[in-house]
Chain A
Amino acid sequence: MSTPRIRLPETAAPGDVIEIRTLIDHEMITAVSSSAPRDMLSRFEATMNGETVIAVDYANGSAANPTLTFFVRAEAPGDFVFTWTHEDGTTFTAEGTVEVG
């Protein structure tokens, strides 16, 4: 559980728009219509060289194994950090680097 999976290109040319796919294994149990205790991620954030690129506030209608695909403009080499935060404060992270040049 809670294993992040990231797909991003190893290299890009300056100015390229690159696709980044993210997914984390998580049941996202809302407990709205089941007796299981609530078990939900609350937020996802992707940073590039320390600056936020995109963030997500999850809701009850966010599907299990939350996935997000987005497109970043690659102007310089990018160190990416992907962080998922559980409602209980626990975080899960993954990292990736895109060489640009």
Chain B
Amino acid sequence: MTTLDRRMFLTGAAAGASLILVQVTPATAQGLTPDVQAAVDAILAGRTPIDAGITLDAPVSADNGAQVPVTVIVDSPMTEDDHVTAIHLVATLNPAPGLGSFHLTPRLGRAEIFTRVRLAEGQQFLAFAETSDGRVLRAAARTAVTIGGCST
């Protein structure tokens, strides 16, 4: 490869890369952006999530992305030997992926929380529950947003 060919190749590769960037937004339904993937990897810590035993309840559409109600219910007896230790909520298209982490104890009678989160735009978001026996349960929800919730 001559120097000129190599330069042309790199220019072409850069053009291709910018085209790929334009395509990122729709592709996040399948693949996660690097910062979201990093947030998920930090929760999983090498574990494979199980898509069962957890319900993430959020509206199909929200007028105000700044106040999106979310309920997470995990199938757990919440005993000393068998309980949920943490619930993490992760956005896929916010400026920052974190939506809050909740640390649970067996003093809770149910592995259920209600809170409100900010969604900058309509998107899929994820809930992860860590259990006392080391499993990670995962659920996803998709909420459409009329007015984005990241103006502050």
Query: Which A residues lie at the B interface, using CB under 8 A?
Result: 16-18, 27-34, 36, 48, 51-74
Report which of B66, B96, B97, B113 forms a contact with A70, defined as CB distance below 8 A. Answer: B113
Q: Give chain A nearest CB distance to B117 CB in angstroms.
A: 5
A-B CB contacts (within 8 Å), total count: 115
Number of interface residues, chain B, beta carbon within 8 A:
34
4 residue pairs, one from A and one from B, having the closest CB atoms: A59-B98, A17-B109, A61-B99, A73-B109
Chain B residues with Cβ below 8 Å from A63 are 66-68, 115-118, 149
Which residue of chain A has the shortest Cβ distance to B99 in the bound complex? A61
Chain B residues with Cβ below 8 Å from A59 are 96, 98-101
The digit string for B84-109, where 1 denotes a CB below 8 A from any CB of A, is 00000101001111111111110111
Q: Give chain A nearest CB distance to B28 CB in angstroms.
A: 16
Chain A residues with Cβ below 8 Å from B99 are 59, 61-62
* CB-based contact B118/A55 at 8 Å: no
Which residue of chain B has the shortest Cβ distance to A40 in the bound complex? B152
Q: Is B150 an interface residue (CB 8 A)?
A: yes
The docked-state distance in angstroms from the alpha carbon of A58 to that of B118 is 12
Which residue of chain B has the shortest Cβ distance to A18 in the bound complex? B109
* CB-based contact B101/A69 at 8 Å: no
Report which of A27, A30, A36, A67 forms a contact with B115, defined as CB distance below 8 A. Answer: A67
Query: Known contacts A55-B103, A63-B67; can you find 10 more A-B pairs with CB under 8 A?
Result: A30-B96, A32-B150, A51-B105, A52-B105, A57-B101, A59-B98, A61-B98, A69-B115, A70-B113, A74-B109
